[in-house]
Amino acid sequence: MLQHRMIERFKEACHEDERIVATLMFGSFAIGEGDEFSDIEFAVFINDDSFDEFEQRSWLDVVSPVAAYFLDDFGHHTALFKNGIRGEFHFMRESELPVVTSWQGYGWFPSLSTAVVLDRSGELSKYASALVGGPPARRGAPLVEGLALNLINLMLFGANLLNRGEYARAWALLSKAHENLLKLIRLHEGTTDHWPTPSRALETDISNIAYKRYMTCTASIEPSALCIAYHESWMWSRELLERVAEPLNIELPEAVIVQVQRLLDKALAR
């Protein structure tokens, strides 16, 4: 696989460059899920005194020719390699190594050996050990309350947009609402391995019945289809809130829930 060859060359380059003190691989290949369509992802820690002079793109270009290197919408440095592979890179100072522990809940790997590429001082392994194991458990009232309130907020926002006639904006917002909906679905079905990106591997992670129902929650930008998708998303959201939130005694804003329903009914009747 092309990515495997690039990863090996990347590892070699890290060991060869004395300015690099530690390197951590994360993402699909670190957890054994990488395939021919996957990105490569690394965090690279540079000696503090060398950091300002370290030319990131030039260094990557030696590993594999780079077509473009830029900050993406999430603030990550992204490389588009000429061979068509995408890479995400976090180049940081050695003094920033403790930040690795803050990645709990977002990143994990089965063992240090699958993720730690280079660790000259042993510091990286000390911090990265907090990320070893399986995907973290997702439970508790604060987590569910946050999902519920964000979902209600986005559905209210979208319902207002539908009634205003801003269908393009409402269509874009629906995918944001679905991030929370999919997390509630995953909590209900006990399939939270891909929590940070809840649409990832959805086709195999959730039941066939749930996946088919989710399809009814999606739509094109065409107004009537979009209104139906919002309506189906909201109906399922309310069901899941009853099953997931109510047993935890989470108090939801009933007046707002009623308002969302009224607005979606109004949009559907237009």
What residue ranges do the domains of the chain occupy? Answer: 2-131, 141-269
pLDDT of residue 72: 86
CATH number of 2-131: 3.30.460.10
23 near 7, Cβ under 8 Å?
no
Residue 173, both tokens:
């917002």
pLDDT of residue 238: 96
Give me the helix-helix angle, 208-216 and 223-240, nearest 10°.
140
Same topology between domain 2-131 and domain 141-269: no
196 near 190, Cβ under 8 Å?
no
pLDDT of residue 11: 95
Radius of gyration of the chain (CA): 22
Superfamily of domain 141-269: Nucleotidyltransferases  domain 2 (1.20.120.330)
Residue reference for tokens 């907020």: 153
Angle at 108 between CA 58 and CA 115, to 5 degrees: 45
Reading the chain (270 residues) residue by residue, the pLDDT tens digits are: 899 999 999 999 999 999 999 999 988 899 888 999 999 999 999 999 999 999 999 999 988 999 999 998 878 899 999 999 999 999 999 999 999 999 887 788 899 999 999 999 999 999 999 889 877 778 788 999 999 999 999 999 999 999 999 999 999 999 999 999 999 999 999 999 888 899 999 999 999 999 999 999 999 999 999 999 999 999 999 999 999 988 899 999 999 999 999 999 999 998
Q: Positive or negative, the Cα torsion across 78, 58, 95, 39?
A: positive
> 111-121 burial, b if ≥16 CB within 10 A, otherwise e?
ebeebbbbbbe
